Amino acid sequence: MAARLQAARGAELVKIISVVCQKGGAGKTTIATNLAVLAEQAGYPTVLLDLDPQATAAKWGDKRRGSPPDVVAAQAGRLVRLLEDARKQGAGVAIIDTAPSADAAALEATKAADLVLVPCQPSDFDLGAVGSTVRVAEQIAGKQSWVVMNAVPPTSKITEEAIAALTEVGVRVAPARLVRRLDFVNGLPAGQSAIEWNPKSKAAGEVVELWQWASQQVGMPAHHLDDVRE
Ligand SMILES: Nc1ncnc2c1ncn2[C@@H]1O[C@H](COP(=O)(O)OP(=O)(O)OP(=O)(O)O)[C@@H](O)[C@H]1O
Ligand SMILES: [Mg+2]
């Protein structure tokens, strides 16, 4: 890890993207893993910190047999130290995946973040959970967050209705969304993200769009210079 990260030049600032939502199964790990691969492909040495005791992202990382990004099972108490280590080693991006909980770990991840993403499926169950996650981010961690609509049907007005309901109560919704697609799932046994499993798929196009928007939000070019790659 250290050698690869230290190979990067001019990447002394780590941009931190945290993915939080107290609702289980909203898509935190899907978004965290896909964004981590895209950040790496864009030329930013990337570390994915998995704060979830279920260790879903860490187990996905194990299946990658050393292929970047680095995936680290972490605890909230060590988050500041791990982010500092990543910064010293030249990481460009840190993505933090969290457990389905509004616990201290999710709060630490939110506080540390340059960008807080809150996945949400277009169902009433998710909309309620998202509201409290967004409020905790804003009122306790002092962070604005963005909802990312995930696993939406390819065509249905329920997504637009969900977005309208969120927007009406002042919740910000990211312009990029992920449709419910098998290309997000089929590569998982091999530890692959959508873009690795099927680069020409609609799923890959959707996460690229999400990465492009997210990287713009944190003020970094979506495509970094090729010469920072190994
Ligand atoms: N856009 C999508 N299309 C198809 N399947 C999806 C999509 N997003 C998530 N899934 C699947 O839904 C399930 C839950 O997603 P994921 O594990 O990313 O959610 P999570 O919020 O991390 O869950 P947890 O709260 O348990 O950590 C997984 O099986 C995942 O593969
Ligand atoms: Mg998860």
Ranking 47-51, 178-182, 194-198, 218-222 by mean pLDDT, the lowest is: 218-222
Q: Give the confidence band of 228 by pLDDT, cuts at 50, 70, 90.
A: very low
HSE-up (13 A, CA, CB side) for residue 158: 15
The response to whether residue 187 sits with its C-beta less than 6 Å from ligand 1 reads no
Q: Whose CA is nearest to atom 15 of ligand 1?
A: 27
Q: Of the ligands numbered here, which is closest to the C-alpha atom of 57?
A: 2
Q: Tell me, what's the pLDDT at 5?
A: 55
| Rounded distance from Cα 183 to ligand 1 centre (Å) | 12
Across the chain, what does the average pLDDT equal? 91
Task: For residue 30, give the ligand 1 atom closest to its CA.
Answer: 18
Residues less than 5 Å from ion ligand 2, measured at CB: 28-29, 56
The response to whether residue 98 sits with its C-beta less than 6 Å from ligand 1 reads no
Q: Give the confidence band of 10 by pLDDT, cuts at 50, 70, 90.
A: very low
Question: What number of H helices and E strands is found in the chain?
Answer: 9, 7
Q: Tell me, what's the pLDDT at 221?
A: 82
pTM of this prediction?
0.94
Residue 189 preceded by cis peptide, ω within 30: no
Q: Give the C-alpha separation, 173 to 145, whole Å.
A: 9
* Cα 199 to Cα 35, 72, 160, 179, 192, distances in angstroms: 14, 25, 27, 16, 11
| pLDDT digits 0-9 by tens, 113-152 | 999 999 999 998 899 889 989 999 999 999 999 999 999 9
Q: Whose CA is nearest to atom 29 of ligand 1?
A: 185
Mean pLDDT of 36-46: 96
Q: Tell me, what's the pLDDT at 220?
A: 87
Q: Tell me, what's the pLDDT at 11?
A: 46
Using the structure block, give the residue that is written with the tokens 């091999």. Answer: 190
| Rounded distance from Cα 102 to ligand 2 centre (Å) | 13
Mean pLDDT of 75-93: 94
Mean pLDDT of 163-176: 96
Q: Give the confidence band of 12 by pLDDT, cuts at 50, 70, 90.
A: low
| pLDDT digits 0-9 by tens, 91-124 | 999 999 999 998 899 999 999 999 999 999 999 8
Q: Tell me, what's the pLDDT at 227?
A: 42
Mean pLDDT of 156-173: 95
Query: Domains plus CATH for the chain?
Result: 14-184+199-216 (3.40.50.300)
Mean pLDDT of 19-33: 97
Give percent of the chain with pLDDT exceeding 70. Answer: 91
The response to whether residue 60 sits with its C-beta less than 6 Å from ligand 1 reads no
